[in-house]
Structure 1
Amino acid sequence: MSEHGDDPRRASVPGSTSPNTPPPATAEEELDVGRLQTLLGDWQRVLTVFFALIGALAAVYVLLPRIVGLDDALARLDDAEPRWLVVALLFNVAAFGAYVALFRGVLIGVEDPGGRLRERLGLRASYQITMAGLAATRLFSAAGAGGLVLTYWALRKAGIGRRVAASRMVAFLVVTYSVYAAAVIVFGLLLHFHLLAGQAPLAGTLLPALFAVVASAACLLVALIPEDVDRRIAALATKPRTARFARRLGSVPATVSDGVRAAIEFARDPRRGALAVGGAIGFWGANIGVLWACFKAYGGSVPLAVLVQGFFLGMFANVIPSPAAGAGPVDAGMIAAFAMFGLPAAIVFPAVLVYRLIAFWLPVPLGVIAYLQLRRTVAAWEREDGTGRYAPTSQSEVAAAEAR
């Protein structure tokens, strides 16, 4: 036996090796392994989304028609005029562009120390965030909650403070759905009082319009909540721990109120709000254009007011969570809405299904790709922050960093 022999204690000495122990991995090798694991994880997510998409499509486009007894309407899917489908695709591209404009418009006025946000949230990153958010909205139903969470995450990673990012997400929602509510009110009343052509069932005209009026009034009342309501609530507490909890609790209505006021400011200042409000109008208008082209593809002629009202009434079903990646409730809701307005099922069914295929499903693969690109973009932002490239220098920047 040698001086050290086979002393097992020697194997535990840091830096020592034995014939049976592989050499430690270098930093470069560990980095390569990490990249490989990330890549495999990304593709695993892509495949999961793909198979969920296929399953949901089969449920909506194969099972649903057979359940409701519309096999003949399903057979008509091949009868569409190709030129109108091209028009629908062009409207869909316009909807993407309008959505990016809406996103960028909502960010106008956010404090930008050192020009960081202007550099980071350019057109490329805005496209990635909005398209990934659209895909998350499609795949996780309930009024777009998935897209909001993803967008909030991206804004935080870009360097926007927690409260500012949350309030801008509220403003995004308010601007988007203010156009929605305004359309339901205007076209619902015009149809109800027979000022525009089309059937006027009470459940599809006056009642939704009144509901939209009440919802809009409630939203405006939220703007009256003081911006320092969290501080006021905390001041009522007698113990420090209770005060911290009260302040955290009060930050929710304060943040929502900030977002509503920001959205109102966009409407009051056309110069600042043109991009946001114009983007919201363009987004909804382009989606209705897709639906109009789909009806034309099957020879359907739908009055404008009925087209708009049926679209928005059907979209309201998006608040219903769906296990099939958002498929089902909106399709059924839109078909039921147009049936309520007296349109023949033989045209409504294929037109709505093709609309959903173009406007709902086609963006999903693009959104998944945008999400993977966004992850790389966010990783680059994190590396920049780690190197201190955007280290705060002025007192205002330090305060903003501490707020985040």
Structure 2
Amino acid sequence: MAGSLLQPLTRRTSDIVRVVVATVVLVAVVVTSLVTRGEWEALERSVSDIVGVLSPGVSNVVYIVYGVSILALPFTILIGLIGARRWKLLGGFVAAAFLAAFALSISGTGLSAPNWHIDESTRIDTLLSQFLDDPRWIAIVAAVLTVSGPGLPTKWRRTWWTLLLAFIPIHLVVSTVVPARSLLGLVVGWLTGAVVVWVVGTPALEVPLASAVRVLDRRGISVTSFTVLSPAGRGPLVLSAASDDATPEVVVELYGLNQRSGGALSQGWRVATFRPSETAPLHASLQRAVEHRALMSIAIGDLALAASTPLAVASLERGWMLYAHSAARGELLEPERGSDVHAVWRSLGELHSRQISHGDLRAAELRVSEGTATFDGFGAAELGATDAQLQSDVAQLLLTTAAIYGDGPSVTAAVDTLGEDVVLAASGRLTRAAIPRRVRSAVPEAKKVMTTVRDTVLDRTGATSITTEKVTRFTRNQIIQLVLLFALVYVAYPFFSAVPTFVTELGSIDWRWAAAGLAVSALTYVGAAAALWACASGLVSFKNLTIMQVANTFAATTTPAGVGGLALSVRFLQKGGLGVTRATAAVALQQSMQVITHVTLLVLFSVVAGTSAELTKFVPDPTVLYLISGVALGVLGTVLFVPTLRRWLRTAVRPQLAEVTRDLLELARDPRRFLLIVLGCGATTLGAAFALWVSIEAFGGGTTFVTVTVVTMIGGTLASAAPTPGGVGAVEAALIGGLAAFGLPASIAVPSVLLYRVLTCWLPVFLGWPTLRWLGKKEMI
């Protein structure tokens, strides 16, 4: 035997899944026990009353019989391991028992030792109660059974697990132990045993080479030695079998327990994430999957397109499966043999003409022999393949052959063989989601190669664009929208809690002022659109840009710091025809002008209001200001002294600031455009202030527009630093506090601010969700 048969810990899929499931169950048991702690004793009394038909004598008999069985179980397994001299498994047995007992012995005061005194018991039922009433014993039994279970006969393993699980219901009848403690011991033991199995291993990991030799011998293949070609991991353990006679080389693939679980998880993931047409029928077991591969090899072999011939398929001991086939014939694809690319595409065309897809067209699965291309693998092959699977084959082979021969020869050979329409349609699958990861991983710089192949297909076919094929159930935009929707529900919760108070105050509202506030709120979107339209030099539709501002409110409110709104604006400008740099610069310019206009108006209205003394109520405590200044200076010093951050400041931040400055200087030389941007930014700021003033008037008034403007700008600025999306909670608190500081009664300030937020935030947010989806359907974002 040459090579290692050991499977790395990261590839023991079954063991990892067992540990994860045991951890989840343990967390569930602990949480439910804490929540329902007071209900367990009542449950035990209720069940005891229902099943209390057993007499004390019969209860003692049940207790003794079950107790003897559960007490003898670990010792029976221990004796069996010693007799069979399975020392490695014995080490795992002892380690699992010790760790399970140790885990449940930890208490708030330290370690609590078990009180098991065999010599002090005068009756057998009192002796057994020391063990049965202690959850540490059930943990020990569960741990050792988990470790040794794979090495036990199936009948004994199932019987003992049934006996072990009966521990909990029996306690409801004949014991005083709270069932939650028994359940906790059972789960802790299972988790401990699962971890030990993962680290130490189980008999199922032992490769049944002797059984494989016997199976091959019955097929007339006498094996003298094995050489490991590929260790077990994501795929099977691949061995090369050698013999003394003239028998050709035989390749043996062995699939174990972990390949079975990994395949099941992979199939489940594809079913959950990919559309049904993209997913092959599920295999009910590992045996069916291996048999399917062998049958597909036979079917493709009948077309003289298979590079190998199946020789044996058999079930081995401990759940292993064997698949033996001849060594692949022919030579791998080489760039020097440029004519082979046409042979490969001709063979794929022949395969597709029989409605057969391959599904795994990596370079390692392609051979050329005497001018004919053949295939190997067939693990993902399908007979009666769908159009989606056939197109996937074409996309995979475009990627693989382009990496070997170049995109030009590959696309030319594909078009000459399959036709322009087929190649153009399949090119829509040259994406990360549509190309399987195993195929992409086999191609260096796969993303770059896919891009160049798509461009070459456009040039070769004369098409104007390639429609990207949707292969997953959920697109990236749908996932983002779902996250935003959950975020909206989260940030809206504080508003919902204030709804009853707000509804009560609506009885005194003047609806004419409320309607005026709604109209003013709508005009702020026109102002924001005008400013951004002027910053983009009028290169996009002003009407669509105004509609986008409504969706922008939704994106900005449901993401912290409003980054969603900025990203949406950049994306809209890109779709409108601007480049990435130009779109980013336009949004940055608009934001810069918004800040400058906001500060200018704040200073102007503060002077007009004559409230310099009152403005100190908005200034934080000096300690907070000192702390902020210290943090800012620390950040600045870190940036200046760390070379990486200094380089980032020079290469990333400085060019952006220089570009914004340049845009501002150019803007100053264009008065009409400059005036439009200033008016748009001013309309946004003053429109929000006017909406709040109108909301106050709707509930009776009591302050001036100048005062409200100062409160809106200062309160909004302070609340913009809040970590909550859209400043929810912080905006309301800042505005209510600001109005109270200027003498407005709380009975008017609170409902006024709530009405203002409904008009300027929540109503546009709920309208923004369908608007965002409409923009997506129209491909404007």
- Range class of TM-score, shorter chain: 0.5 to 0.7
Deviation at 1:318, TM superposition (A): 3.9
Secondary structure in 2 matching 1:302: coil
Work out whether 1:23 is the aligned partner of 2:452: no
Matched residues in 2 for 1:288 and 1:137: separation?
Answer: 19
**Equivalent position of 1:170 in the other structure:** 588
**Equivalent residues in 2 for 1:182-221 (5 A)?**
182-192=600-610, 200-203=613-616
Is the 1:102–1:278 contact (alpha carbons within 8 Å) kept by the matching residues of 2? yes
Work out whether 1:138 is the aligned partner of 2:500: no
**Equivalent position of 1:238 in the other structure:** none
Matched residues in 2 for 1:267 and 1:361: separation?
Answer: 36
Q: 1:251 to 1:90 in 2, by over 3 A?
A: same
Structure in which a larger fraction of residues adopt helix: 1
Work out whether 1:126 is the aligned partner of 2:525: no
**Equivalent position of 1:295 in the other structure:** 696
**Equivalent residues in 2 for 1:324-335 (5 A)?**
326-335=727-736
**Equivalent residues in 2 for 1:235-314 (5 A)?**
249-263=650-664, 265-267=666-668, 269-314=670-715
**Equivalent position of 2:518 in the other structure:** 89
Deviation at 1:154, TM superposition (A): 3.0
Matched residues in 2 for 1:254 and 1:48: separation?
Answer: 33
Is the 2:618–2:714 contact (alpha carbons within 8 Å) kept by the matching residues of 1? no
**Equivalent position of 1:10 in the other structure:** 299
**Equivalent position of 2:567 in the other structure:** 149
Is the 1:189–1:206 contact (alpha carbons within 8 Å) kept by the matching residues of 2? no
**Residue by residue, what CA displacement relative to the aligned partner does 1:185-233 show, whole Å, maximum 9, x if unpaired?**
1122233368xxxxx51415899xxxxxxxxxxxxxxxxxxxxxxxxxx
Letter of the aligned partner of 1:344 in structure 2? P
Work out which of the residue numbers 494, 497, 501 in structure 2 matches 1:62.
497
**Equivalent position of 1:105 in the other structure:** 534
Secondary structure in 2 matching 1:294: helix
Matched residues in 1 for 2:563 and 2:725: separation?
Answer: 16
Deviation at 1:253, TM superposition (A): 1.6
**Equivalent position of 1:111 in the other structure:** none
Matched residues in 1 for 2:648 and 2:738: separation?
Answer: 44
Matched residues in 2 for 1:341 and 1:171: separation?
Answer: 34
Higher Cα radius of gyration: 2
Work out which of the residue numbers 741, 744, 757 in structure 2 matches 1:356.
757
Structure scoring higher RCO (CA < 8 A, sep ≥ 6) equals: 1
Matched residues in 2 for 1:162 and 1:53: separation?
Answer: 28
Deviation at 1:298, TM superposition (A): 0.4
Deviation at 1:297, TM superposition (A): 0.9
Q: 1:324 to 1:6 in 2, by over 3 A?
A: closer
**Equivalent position of 2:288 in the other structure:** none
Work out which of the residue numbers 456, 463, 470 in structure 2 matches 1:34.
470
Q: 1:165 to 1:36 in 2, by over 3 A?
A: same
**Equivalent position of 2:718 in the other structure:** 317
Matched residues in 2 for 1:319 and 1:353: separation?
Answer: 17
Secondary structure in 2 matching 1:34: coil
Letter of the aligned partner of 2:497 in structure 1? V
Is the 1:131–1:366 contact (alpha carbons within 8 Å) kept by the matching residues of 2? yes
Letter of the aligned partner of 2:557 in structure 1? R
The TM-score normalised by the length of structure 2 is: 0.36
Deviation at 1:349, TM superposition (A): 0.6
Q: 1:134 to 1:6 in 2, by over 3 A?
A: closer
**Equivalent position of 2:228 in the other structure:** none
Secondary structure in 2 matching 1:301: coil
Secondary structure in 2 matching 1:362: helix
| Alignment root-mean-square deviation, CA | 3.8
Deviation at 1:106, TM superposition (A): 0.9
Is the 1:128–1:371 contact (alpha carbons within 8 Å) kept by the matching residues of 2? no
Deviation at 1:33, TM superposition (A): 7.9
Is the 2:487–2:559 contact (alpha carbons within 8 Å) kept by the matching residues of 1? no
**Residue by residue, what CA displacement relative to the aligned partner does 1:26-55 show, whole Å, maximum 9, x if unpaired?**
5689989829946x8766655654454344
Amino-acid identity (%): 21
Farther off after superposition, 283-292 or 354-363: 283-292
Deviation at 1:75, TM superposition (A): 3.0
Is the 1:315–1:333 contact (alpha carbons within 8 Å) kept by the matching residues of 2? yes
Letter of the aligned partner of 1:139 in structure 2? T
Is the 1:265–1:273 contact (alpha carbons within 8 Å) kept by the matching residues of 2? no
Q: 1:155 to 1:295 in 2, by over 3 A?
A: same
Stretches of 4+ aligned residues off by more than 6 angstroms: 27-33, 71-74
Letter of the aligned partner of 1:363 in structure 2? P
Matched residues in 2 for 1:334 and 1:104: separation?
Answer: 30
Farther off after superposition, 27-36 or 170-179: 27-36
Letter of the aligned partner of 1:88 in structure 2? G
**Residue by residue, what CA displacement relative to the aligned partner does 1:346-397 show, whole Å, maximum 9, x if unpaired?**
1111000110111011111332333223334447x9xxxxxxxxxxxxxxxx
Matched residues in 1 for 2:296 and 2:593: separation?
Answer: 73
Deviation at 1:246, TM superposition (A): 5.0
Matched residues in 2 for 1:251 and 1:72: separation?
Answer: 49
Is the 1:128–1:370 contact (alpha carbons within 8 Å) kept by the matching residues of 2? yes
Matched residues in 1 for 2:619 and 2:605: separation?
Answer: 9
**Residue by residue, what CA displacement relative to the aligned partner does 1:220-259 show, whole Å, maximum 9, x if unpaired?**
xxxxxxxxxxxxxxxxxxxxxx9xx959843422222321
Q: 1:326 to 1:177 in 2, by over 3 A?
A: same
Is the 2:556–2:563 contact (alpha carbons within 8 Å) kept by the matching residues of 1? yes
Deviation at 1:136, TM superposition (A): 1.8
Letter of the aligned partner of 2:614 in structure 1? P
Matched residues in 1 for 2:778 and 2:700: separation?
Answer: 45
Matched residues in 1 for 2:599 and 2:619: separation?
Answer: 13
Q: 1:155 to 1:33 in 2, by over 3 A?
A: closer
**Equivalent position of 1:53 in the other structure:** 488
Secondary structure in 1 matching 2:744: coil
* Structure 1 alignment gaps of length 5 or more: 66-70, 109-116, 195-199, 208-241, 382-404
Structure in which a larger fraction of residues adopt strand: 2
Is the 2:690–2:709 contact (alpha carbons within 8 Å) kept by the matching residues of 1? no
Q: 1:131 to 1:345 in 2, by over 3 A?
A: same
Deviation at 1:131, TM superposition (A): 3.0
Matched residues in 2 for 1:348 and 1:368: separation?
Answer: 29
**Residue by residue, what CA displacement relative to the aligned partner does 1:1-33 show, whole Å, maximum 9, x if unpaired?**
xxxx96733247532447x84432256899898
Q: 1:86 to 1:36 in 2, by over 3 A?
A: farther
Matched residues in 2 for 1:193 and 1:321: separation?
Answer: 26
Q: 1:103 to 1:7 in 2, by over 3 A?
A: closer
Q: 1:33 to 1:7 in 2, by over 3 A?
A: closer
Farther off after superposition, 281-290 or 340-349: 281-290
Q: 1:313 to 1:202 in 2, by over 3 A?
A: closer
Deviation at 1:124, TM superposition (A): 4.2
Is the 1:56–1:327 contact (alpha carbons within 8 Å) kept by the matching residues of 2? yes
